[in-house]
Chain A
Amino acid sequence: MSVRLFLQVASVEMRKRMSYRVDFWINAFVGFAAELCIAWFLWQALYAESGKDVIGGYVFDEMLVYYVFVIIFARLVRGAEFEAHVSQDIYEGGLNRYLVFPASYFGMKYAQHVGGLVPTFVQTALFLGAWLVFTGGAGGEAITLTTVLMAAASLVLANLLYYAMSFPLHAVAFWADNVWSLLITLRFASNLLGGRMFPLVLFPVALRTANEWLPFRALFGLPAEALLGRVGFEAWLQGMAIGIVWLGVLSLIGRAVWRRGNLQYSGIGI
């Protein structure tokens, strides 16, 4: 797939997403604000109840900053509603149109995914701006240019990794028609084991060690820890390497499931 086509597909998707103004603005503020409010109330209660100033190495402000960034990163990694696309294409027969095009379906879908991220970037900038205005950036003092670059690299990997994780599950739609429950399971597992629900440092040591070898940490925990200077360069590199290996493995699995599923495809919907 050419870079030109990739950019064109991404651009079309971006324009499509931006055309829904109400949805854009609700997503920009309400979604972010609601999640942050929940985190604020929950952790305030936990700090007050435990009588501690530091939990898992985080003071309250740092904990909030962690949430600010995992909320943002989750959006940048997952994109907007990508989960619905591939399995719906299979279920409703929308895949037919792509199979006739002389272009890679994987490539076109990923380009759509990336294009769908552009509004999320804009929303993120607005949200970060609001956070800086209200808090003055309290809790984010450890952020430097180096940690920003490390987080950015992590996010690129995390984006590809989530795509590679969800693709085989979507492809199960060739057999099961409806894979919503699988996608919800992935969402829950990635939230829990990826550090989206709370910092991974709060897990028991054994579970945390095991989780370091799974692909989930690279999704949200590693980028957030990298940005906030909570992971050393070597440990970060190791986390990235594990993520890259998983990316390779999941891509192979996705390809195999896709090929097998294609033999089952009946193109219903025409």
Chain B
Amino acid sequence: MAKIGLATHGLARENPRFPGQAMIRVRNLSKSYTVHKKAPGLWGSIRSLVARQKVVKHAVRGVDLDVGEGEILGLVGPNGAGKTTLVKMLAGIIHPSGGEAQVLGHTPWERNNEFRRQIALIMGQKAQLWWDLPAADGFLLLKEIYRIPDDRYAANLAYLAEVLDVEQHLNVQVRRLSLGERMKMELIAALLHEPRVVFLDEPTIGLDLTAQRAIRDFLLAYREEHRPAMILTSHYMEDIQRLCKRIVIIDDGRFLYDGPLDQVAQAYAGQKVITVHLRRGDGSPPPAEALAAFGDVLTAGEDEVQLCVPRERVAEASAYLLAELPVADLSIDEEDIGTIIERIFRERRVEGA
């Protein structure tokens, strides 16, 4: 079992793919909030009128990061891990408690217009467009805000609306659009000015599978064409796997892993998944206790048995299964990335407790 803790590799390093060209550079960045706690019930409410308990929450704890041109970095972590706080600092919305960050050579929270003209923030849970107006009116306003020349605006809008297939909805009030259509409009709104850095906070949340796929495909195409640096937070592993070659795993404000997505398994997966398909009618599988001696039993049915076992016991477990069961087919796979990450968080919670 891999020890869960601060992964050393990939942390605080220059982006090897873009040496010296990091568009986002973060050093020892931290953010703490003071939150007030109130005891439940009427008495708690009355007491809070006089005195409230203050609690300092460390949302981000001294993290380092570099993101290069054309890179989509996946920020993965459970709720409250510090993902959105980090994105908010890098977009210049909130001030940090300590550390430094440079985005395109600017300190984000100084909010100078030169910086803000080159970034975009897309929030899946929060509408950016004007609710009561047709999206086209909102885009015109953004044209003025970002001072986009007429020809560039027309070309960009036509391109984005066509690729996202929303041309027929441009003149409909935003509040009357479906969630998927609205999200596509949000993407257009964010990308009209051709930002060089894009922050995507849960861009596919709540969308159906078709809309999710369309947005992923669009983001990949956009990345190829414009080469922006992107930071993506998402709870959907499908987003991360499809869009990101590199991920950062964050929990409790700390980076646990920063490196290639396909190496997460090597760094953390002390386990492999053995799947055997059984020949029908050749007896029942051995009792789950016998299988559990090798590792976690994921499935133990009449047709299929699936075990998650430590790497060093893979050979032993495979030999046992081949000897004891009517095996029609056997395969050994790395753990699913989502499962690994879930396990990392689960084990950290257990350690913390």
Contacts and interface: CB of A to CB of B under 8 A. Distances in A.
| Interface of B (DSSP majority class) | mixed
Interface in B138-193: 138, 140-141, 144-147
B343 interface: no
A269 B119 CA distance: 20
A102 B113 contact: yes
A7 B148 CA distance: 16
Interface residues of A, number: 24
Contact of A265 (B94, B113, B121): B94
A97 interface: yes
Best-buried of A9, A100, A267 by chain B (most CB within 10 Å): A100
Contacts of B236: none
Interface string A14-44: 0110010000000000000000000000000
B144 A5 contact: yes
B17 interface: no
A96 B137 contact: no
A102 B112 CA distance: 7
Contacts of B26: none
Given A8-B141, A19-B132, A100 B113 contact: no
Given A16-B132, A266-B33, A269-B126, A96 B144 contact: no
Best-buried of B33, B88, B92, B120 by chain A (most CB within 10 Å): B88
Q: Which 4 A-B pairs have the closest CB atoms?
A: A102-B113, A102-B116, A5-B144, A8-B144
29 contacts: A2-B144, A2-B147, A5-B145, A8-B140, A12-B130, A12-B137, A12-B138, A16-B130, A96-B88, A96-B93, A96-B121, A97-B126, A99-B91, A99-B92, A100-B91, A100-B119, A101-B116, A101-B145, A101-B146, A102-B116, A102-B146, A103-B145, A262-B95, A263-B95, A265-B94, A265-B95, A270-B84, A270-B125, A270-B126
Interface of B: 33, 84, 87-88, 91-95, 111, 113-114, 116-117, 119-121, 123, 125-126, 128, 130, 132-133, 137-138, 140-141, 144-147, 201
